[in-house]
Amino acid sequence: MRPQTRLVPIFLLLLGSVVPCHPQAQPPPDAFLFNDSHFHLTNYIQEGVGIREFLKIMGTRTGRVALFGIPLQQQWSYRNSGDTAPTYYLDTDAPLYYYSFTDASIAQTFLSLAPEDRKRFDPMITGFNPADMYAADHIRRVLLTFPGVFSGIGEFTIHKEFVSSKVAGEVASLQDPALDRILDFAGEVGLAVILHSDIDVPFPKPGAPPMYLAQMKALLRKHPSATIIWAHTGVGRVIRPVENHGAMLEEILRDPALRHVHFDISWDLVARYIVASEQSIKSSAELINRYPDRFLFGTDEVAPRTQEQYGKVFEMYAPLWQALGSEASEKVRKGNYERIFDSARSRVRAWEHAHLAATVR
């Protein structure tokens, strides 16, 4: 039989919508250490931490959080793993599939909070297949079904080591017109976009340029109206920073046609790359100090159970915070999040108001 889990099933997260709630006492914004641009409330089997428990974990250290689940559900194939229930995509050879109900779950969880507590979250739409030409229509329906809730889309994935090949159905691509429709719509509405796409394949040929870099730059150029955050600067568990990785990022950062592109430095693996040596800290800090408006801190934690677990990535970056100038540190930890998501909130609410009004005429 399936082992017991301490995580909260999705239906229990939804129960919060009928439970009386009271706002948490909040310190002034200047007291917070960081805003979190990349956080998963639920995992690959749609279980997670309760939103009020997470508010306590945020405490007085975290100001605001971009809130999303994981758009992919890991199938439990009895033929593959028997009574052993997988909880992670590496636990089984069974496929992953898109789980659109995650958007309703995140919306109901958010709406279960007191209005004052809602201000600390920016929910994101993730439950769409980026290889589906109807994906933009899904995003539109979610916005009109849950007005006043969502600020952006993502994190959603195009290329990701070991994950992309497990997703049932057609493979996602940076060159897919379905992705163009998604980003066109995001630009029209004002949705912030958090996009995961590895810069290279897991085992590249020696000396070959990163497989997906040119495709990614071409995609970004096509969508100047969309505010895009490239998650993890294109690296991952196996996709390590390629040679001259910083120079490749700077080529994007200094291009006036790509000023709408930002990078998050979420994930403990990314932190390990950045703080690996004195030289990596120095070069990373110099790049961020030159372009302080273009980087955001995020944890990329998945349903953390304790404040220590949730804060570990921020603590790992201590050498980077010390190496950054005070202005750059403030912007990466807090200011850039507030600028991007405040704008998204305002623009999305205006779009919703206009389109909801049109539907009742």
pLDDT tens for 134-187 read 999 999 999 999 999 999 999 999 999 888 888 999 999 999 999 999 999 999
CATH code that applies to domain 29-359: 3.20.20.140
pLDDT for the residue 143: 98
Closest to 91 measured CA to CA, from 5, 187, 15: 5
pLDDT for the residue 161: 85
Average of pLDDT values for 97-111? 97
Helix (H) or strand (E) holding 110: helix 101-111
pLDDT digits (tens, 9 = 90+) for 31-74: 899 999 999 999 999 999 999 999 999 999 999 999 999 999 99
Q: Say which residue the tokens 């950045």 belong to.
A: 274
pLDDT for the residue 42: 95
pLDDT for the residue 314: 98
Exposure on the CB side of residue 310, measured as CA atoms within 13 A = 24
pTM attached to this predicted model: 0.91
Q: What angle do CA 254, 257, 261 make, to 5 degrees?
A: 70
Could you give the percent of the chain with pLDDT greater than 70?
A: 91
pLDDT for the residue 15: 44
**φ, ψ for residue 148, nearest 5 deg:** 85, 5
Determine the residue type at 211.
M
Give the Cα separation of 118 and 125 in Å (integer): 16
pLDDT band at 205 (very low <50, low <70, confident <90, very high): confident
Tell whether the model's pLDDT for residue 131 goes beyond 90: yes
Is residue 341 a contact partner of residue 64, using CB atoms and an 8 Å limit?
yes
pLDDT digits (tens, 9 = 90+) for 273-304: 999 999 999 999 999 999 999 999 999 999 99
pLDDT band at 219 (very low <50, low <70, confident <90, very high): very high
pLDDT digits (tens, 9 = 90+) for 259-278: 999 999 999 999 999 999 99
Average of pLDDT values for 205-210? 88
pLDDT for the residue 190: 98
pLDDT for the residue 174: 98
- Which residues does 264 contact at the CB level (< 8 Å), separation at least 6? 37, 38, 194, 229, 230, 231, 232, 233, 295, 296, 297, 298
- Which residues does 250 contact at the CB level (< 8 Å), separation at least 6? 287, 290, 291
pLDDT for the residue 207: 84
pLDDT digits (tens, 9 = 90+) for 184-196: 999 999 999 999 9
pLDDT digits (tens, 9 = 90+) for 310-348: 999 999 999 999 999 999 999 999 999 999 999 999 999
pLDDT for the residue 9: 52
Give the Cα separation of 106 and 110 in Å (integer): 6
Is residue 132 a contact partner of residue 100, using CB atoms and an 8 Å limit?
no
